[in-house]
Structure 1
């Protein structure tokens, strides 16, 4: 039986519920990546590398930024899914953001975000779970910050966000504040 994703709604975007899932032991990352690159609409999800994620709120900051850009008509990418991956980055380089934060051929774990807009066929959590079961070959893990922390590579986070070595990232709350600040301020410096 497919697992049901964690469903959240950002108060500013009540008609766009979010379905969040976490997978480990993923064996088909190259297929997922190639389907994304070919534009296969069945893969209309944001696939993120969990080694780059500190917490669920870290991802929600990127989702909020992407949905805000979509509402304002200022997205820099073609889809809200690629905009979410791009929004994870502290820089304005789309290609670099997709390489650093998106699915890679060697990915063995994935954090998946589905923005369920009313115009789409797949909008309910159960439907998203069934659809992901046919897309991701891996083990669904109950999504929580503890599960994410087991997959996070602090040195990758440090490198991606250019955090100096003197800044201690052992405190996940303080570290998440640093990276969400970088997400929010991207493009304003």
Structure 2
């Protein structure tokens, strides 16, 4: 499975396609292009993603918020990163889940309609100097100890639920709870 495309909330008509890159050599350049708006995608640290479901949930919330004009951040792409975080602080969320200049393994998420995947992906993917690998290799890259720390998941929780379920539950309850 080279990439993964999932339909988000039906009412939005949006999809997300996710790509995994390793050994990326130009994250500083990518980050600058993201900030300037030159790249229309979400780029996140692959090591902090337990399962694609985590990203899909964050993206779904982002497209629904966009549809109703309720984005917390400036773009749908930064909204995904914000939704992945437990923090209500936008800057902290973007720093934690967005890429830094030294990041080597990244996930690229492209939001699109049903028919324009290739057009949306072409420019963004061409800007990345790294090895595009099967998204199925994500588990090799995830740093579960860091994920457990970031999401404050303890062993007692893992006795009754999976790590991805714990993470997604905490992501979705940040609006109601204070961690």
What is the TM-score of this pair, normalised by structure 2? 0.88
**What is the CA deviation profile of residues 45-96 of structure 1, one whole-angstrom value per residue up to 9, with x for unaligned ones?**
0001011000011111111111122123221101000000111101201111
Structure-2 change in CA distance of 1:92 and 1:25 (3 Å): same
Whether the aligned pair in 2 keeps the contact of 1:24 and 1:109 (CA below 8 Å) is: yes
Q: 1:82-121 alignment to 2 at 5 Å? A: 82-117=78-113
Q: 1:69-84 alignment to 2 at 5 Å? A: 69-84=65-80
**What is the CA deviation profile of residues 131-181 of structure 1, one whole-angstrom value per residue up to 9, with x for unaligned ones?**
23421111111112xx111111112212211223x347699x700000100
Whether 2:160 is the aligned partner of 1:160: answer no
- Structure 2 counterpart of 1:186, from 154, 165, 174: 174
Q: Which residue of 2 aligns with 1:22?
A: 20
Q: Which runs of 5+ in 2 are unaligned?
A: none
Whether the aligned pair in 2 keeps the contact of 1:62 and 1:85 (CA below 8 Å) is: yes
Number of equivalenced pairs? 177
Whether the aligned pair in 2 keeps the contact of 1:90 and 1:161 (CA below 8 Å) is: yes
Structure-2 change in CA distance of 1:56 and 1:170 (3 Å): farther
**What is the CA deviation profile of residues 105-126 of structure 1, one whole-angstrom value per residue up to 9, with x for unaligned ones?**
11101101111148xxxx6333
Whether the aligned pair in 1 keeps the contact of 2:27 and 2:103 (CA below 8 Å) is: yes
Matches of 2:142 and 2:99 in 1, distance apart?
15
Judge which range, 155-164 or 16-25, deviates more.
155-164
Q: Which residue of 2 aligns with 1:31?
A: 29
Secondary structure in 2 aligned to 1:76?
Answer: coil
Q: Which runs of 5+ in 1 are unaligned?
A: none
The structure 1 segments of at least 4 consecutive aligned residues displaced by more than 4 Å after TM superposition are 167-171
Whether the aligned pair in 2 keeps the contact of 1:19 and 1:128 (CA below 8 Å) is: no
Deviation (angstroms), 1:14: 5.5
Whether the aligned pair in 2 keeps the contact of 1:5 and 1:125 (CA below 8 Å) is: no
What is the TM-score of this pair, normalised by structure 1? 0.84
Whether the aligned pair in 2 keeps the contact of 1:22 and 1:141 (CA below 8 Å) is: yes
Whether the aligned pair in 2 keeps the contact of 1:50 and 1:110 (CA below 8 Å) is: yes
Matches of 2:126 and 2:167 in 1, distance apart?
32
